[in-house]
Structure 1
């Protein structure tokens, strides 16, 4: 965002390019941890197109398309496909707590709306409802429901669902990325990884190559930064502060009801970034 609260497409392209240069092989645009709840459909479309223009030929660009309104979500999926997105991320409908039959119908409607693969986002701490085993089994039958972003914090459940559904599993909880890898996940969709992309690439490569001691070492190096970004205030606030202290963005502006990091919060993320850089 610019200081006046407008969307800064140039800055978005700079950040996207930086992340891909540092090792990201995928980016989520307009995820719900970010500011998608307060950006318009036109702003989301412009942002998606800007990121695709910058890095769409070098990484998978996933459009956040979920909401608690199925009709609006379906329209978001169609717009994402039209813009050229490679996949969509669909969060469990939040606040209105649909029954499991409603979740099946919701995710099916989104998957039917385009030819894009769908990553389902299970985050009961924010949405107020978890995806049940039976629901996973049903939606996994859809040819375009391909993956899960898991932020429910239940590794045993995740291991069962990976085995029973065959869906690709991604950690959606920064603190549990390594644990999810050990459990069989194929990747992660993170917040802190925007602030330390090279370290997360290092950890992922170590996992793929079977160097678990190296992966664990990176995990431990990242712990102070994960605490600073994820456990102080809202993650997007602290991620922007982290990007700003590294000189990657000029403004930490966020739209209400979010507010920018204060001096104490900024100092915490600056210290964590400095500590990580010193270790590396």
Structure 2
């Protein structure tokens, strides 16, 4: 038998392959900028994103109100229609509040939910599992679990994920665990669609059976990141690796420079004249040196 390139992914991912963790645009006065959100959403879809994740980490969910979260879903749904999936981040450290947000997102027109593990209280795995099951039992939308222990302080352990995969509405994982072995274990043993939540893992996770990515960096270079997956699917693994490597300098500056991705994404979008606006406190804007570095990396990546 002759090997002829990567095997195609066996099933279409539930929310698409190339997802952007979209920023939440604000006006200069700090109010929600729904017009800007619609313009940015349309640009991202035109650039190759087939899904948008709202009110996640990059979307400043801790500092937007419940009403703003629902308004954002409605506005983006209107802007992109059926051209892209719309996921709403609804995770909080309060199960009851999370259920309320999930129901509101469903009413507002979301296609799915992103639910982070409960943070600060650091519940044991039995409680983490019960939290997710209660949310999944309360809504009719498919759910992506968000495993980001570096921010929440609580891991969704692989065995917990394997058990939760049995729930019919728990269909995906956004993986920011930095545990590549555990991700492969869960991919092999479940039907969960695994999305890279760290841009440096976009190609690596895809190559071992992942569904795609949920990317912060896609806010500014959606087509360049989509091209990595397209090259891999076409059997051009060397080309996919080259494209991933070319994006690495911008990924590093945006995600590993000591500034949150929200700050760097908004700074670069503003520099490019695209909808962004300020970050909300306690975040602070990037300084001029950081912005200049981001602009230089962006121009180098997009020059070709």
TM-score (norm 1): 0.97
Higher relative contact order (CA 8 A, sep 6+): 2
Q: CA deviation at 1:17?
A: 0.4
Structure 1 segments (4+ residues) deviating >6 Å: none
1:131-280 correspondence to structure 2 within 5 Å = 131-232=156-257, 233-249=259-275, 252-278=277-303, 280=304
2:272 and 2:58 map into 1 onto residues whose CA distance is 21
- CA-atom RMSD, angstroms? 1.0
Indicate the residue corresponding to 1:120 in structure 2.
145
1:209 and 1:125 map into 2 onto residues whose CA distance is 34
After superposition, the C-alpha distances for 1:41-60 in whole angstroms (9 at most, x for unaligned) are 11111111000000032100
Contact 2:27 2:278 in 1 (8 A): yes
2:161 and 2:210 map into 1 onto residues whose CA distance is 16
After superposition, the C-alpha distances for 1:55-87 in whole angstroms (9 at most, x for unaligned) are 032100000011111111000110011011000
Contact 1:178 1:219 in 2 (8 A): yes
- The 3-state SS of whatever aligns with 2:134 is helix
Q: CA deviation at 1:269?
A: 0.8
Indicate the residue corresponding to 1:35 in structure 2.
60
Indicate the residue corresponding to 2:49 in structure 1.
24
Contact 1:155 1:183 in 2 (8 A): no
- The 3-state SS of whatever aligns with 2:70 is helix
Which runs of no fewer than 5 residues in structure 2 stay unpaired?
Answer: 1-25
Q: By percentage of residues, which structure has more helix?
A: 1
Indicate the residue corresponding to 2:7 in structure 1.
none
- The 3-state SS of whatever aligns with 1:189 is strand
Aligned residues: 278
